[in-house]
Amino acid sequence: MASKKFKVTYGVDQRAEEEDDRIRMQMEQRILESLCSNCKHQGDCAFLPKACSPIIECELYECGPSEKPRLTVVRKNCASVEVLPESDHPLLGLCINCENLRGCNLPKPAGGVWMCEEYC
């Protein structure tokens, strides 16, 4: 039986992922700078991915919310929030006894949180 040698390419995969992130950020910036930011056809536009600069004129432009929303993947930041000592910033509201407090990245205003979808 012949043995095969496989080459591990973690660095290449990471560089490709970084390149994808860079391209995605450029696309987001291009959208914010062009008519596309409030166009109905933004979700299924054929011109936007090919654009090299912000689009300032388009025959298909229609103002309004997008008919087909653009979905993007958002990376979850796993860093936990440092809770200030009780003397500086006492927790009020639902945060006091929430099981998700240690890993929660949501803002905690001084007046307390009284409605939260993540509370458990």
What average pLDDT does range 12-30 have in this prediction?
80
- What CA–CA distance (Å, rounded) separates 116 from 95? 9
What sign has the CA pseudo-torsion 5, 11, 14, 19?
negative
- What CA–CA distance (Å, rounded) separates 51 from 55? 7
Residue predicted with more confidence, 48 or 70: 48
What average pLDDT does range 93-116 have in this prediction?
84
Of 86, 91, 96, the C-alpha closest to 108 is 91
Q: Is the pLDDT of residue 22 over 50?
A: yes
Asked whether the whole model's pTM tops 0.85, one would answer: no
- What CA–CA distance (Å, rounded) separates 78 from 81? 9
DSSP H helical ranges for the chain: 10-33
> Where does residue 1 rank: exposed (0-12), middle (13-18), buried (19+ CB within 10 A)?
exposed
What is the per-residue pLDDT across 49-59, written as a single tens digit (0 to 9) for each? 888 888 889 89
What is the per-residue pLDDT across 60-101, written as a single tens digit (0 to 9) for each? 888 887 777 666 555 555 544 454 444 456 778 888 888 888
pLDDT > 70: percent of the chain: 72
